[in-house]
Amino acid sequence: MSPRQFLLAGLSLVAMAASASAAEPTQFDAVLSQHALLPAQSFAVPPADAPATLNTSGRYTGTGADFGRRFDRLYSIFDEKTGLARPFAGQPVQGFSGIRALGDGTYVVLTDNGFGAKANSADAMIMFHIVKPDWKTGRVEIVKTVFAKDPNRVVPFRVVNENTDARYLTGADFDPESIQKVGDHFWIGDEFGPYLVEVDADGTVLSLKETVVAGVTYRSPDNYAVVMPAGPDKPMPEFNVRRSKGFEGMALSADGKTLHPMLEGAPWDAKAGKFVEKGGKSVLPIFDFDLASKAFADTVRYYPLEDFGNAIGDFNMIDANRALVIERDGGQGDAREGWAETPAKFKRIYLVDLSKTDADGVVRKIGFIDLMNIKDPNAVARVGSKDGVFTFPFETIENVDRIDETHIIVADDNNFPFSVGRAQGKADNNEFIVLEVGDFLKAE
């Protein structure tokens, strides 16, 4: 081969590599293997030492002119969209915003912050559960419920139950969205700070870490250090994370040494005067948190959204480099049924490679499955299947993890009692599905 031929061959290989790295992710089929449901109206009993006020939840969920008003009488707020009434007796187990397979047929799942906002969730307890789906009966057993608390006053700001001994935490204190089991402890990713919160097996807070990465402090409007000015002539406080766009997904490295928390929305770049973009796409920072030193590294990778209005739902590693990420729009309801005002369209699970990034640190999307086009040839679905196609048409789908070499588990966050995605006029259940996706999991 002449020098010129050698050079041209080298340039051709470089061009092929660049083309491959920029290639669109491949779509893979998903086949429904299992389906189980936990009824929307599933409630947990607060611990005996919790304040009596926590025996009732949903007092502050009035809407319109009643927003912020307290309703003490049970079931005095009627919701025409779902036919349900609140406040409730007990604590809703409600929507799950993070899942991790424990390897024995059980899963740890994290209850979302309560009723969707800091302002209306002061009587919603922070909790996580060990659940066990029975795929034969389609039922989901709640094996154990753990309530988060701060008796040792580790949390550096005032909490709702400040003046109690156990200091049980509520959805006005934190918005938990992701969870990982590390040894006997659990790490929870929060949206309000965003913070990382470490708790022991009985839910006691052991540490809280604010997000400072490579000299940049990430704060949302709900961070305790962000204080609104006293008047319109005063400067607004600085924050760079949008409300409800803190840590949504948080993966654990295969060696168990590093957490990878990911923001749900692109942060604000004050210098550029816009939300962070890379290559013309809105991107979400993925951080590295070293569990041994309990400190953030300077490394930042970026997950590229297909649309600025999309959000991620969950994030779990499947090996040393590859991970599953839920990306979805805000629609709900199956368009095939014709009743949804804004039907679900974009509900995907992507396979990404954290070791393969471009010059801007953006991770590579290898492939995806479409949760609005799941094959159901064996009529496994208990609801939601039509003409052999099953859909998962929920507004928020916030749980995914690998079970084995060919299967993954997926679950919705039903935003109880508000979301209506499965059936018109009915609050969504917590649905768990197992998908056969062997080819998808092997893709590189």
- Residue 385 φ then ψ, to 5°: -110, 140
Q: Which fold has domain 25-442?
A: Neuraminidase (2.120.10)
Q: How far is CA 224 from CA 173, 177, 262, in A?
A: 9, 18, 20
Tokens of 317: 């590693």
Tokens of 77: 């707020």
Say which amino acid occupies 268: W
pLDDT at site 8: 45
Ramachandran area for residue 178 (φ above 0: left; ψ -120 to 50: alpha; else beta): beta
pLDDT at site 314: 98
Domain positions in the chain are 25-442
- Per the DSSP assignment, residues forming a β-bridge with 195 are 210
pLDDT at site 22: 58
Give CA–CA dist 208/188, Å, rounded.
Answer: 10
Give CA–CA dist 266/275, Å, rounded.
Answer: 6
pLDDT at site 68: 85
In terms of Cα–Cα distance, which of 439, 367, 366, 371 is closest to 405? 439
Bridge-based pairing of strands 363-370 and 26-27 is parallel
Does the CA dihedral 218-223-224-229 come out positive or negative?
Answer: positive
pLDDT at site 21: 46
pLDDT (tens digit, 0 to 9) for every residue of the chain, 444 residues total? 544 444 444 444 444 444 434 589 999 999 999 999 999 999 999 999 999 999 999 999 999 999 989 999 999 999 999 999 999 999 999 899 999 999 999 999 999 999 999 999 999 999 999 999 999 999 999 999 999 999 999 999 999 999 999 999 999 999 999 999 999 999 999 999 999 999 999 999 999 999 999 999 999 999 999 998 988 889 989 999 999 999 999 999 999 999 999 999 999 999 999 999 999 999 999 999 999 999 999 999 999 999 999 999 999 999 999 999 999 999 999 999 999 999 999 999 999 999 999 999 999 999 999 999 999 999 999 999 999 999 999 999 999 999 999 999 999 999 999 999 999 999 999 999 999 999 999 999
pTM for this predicted structure: 0.94
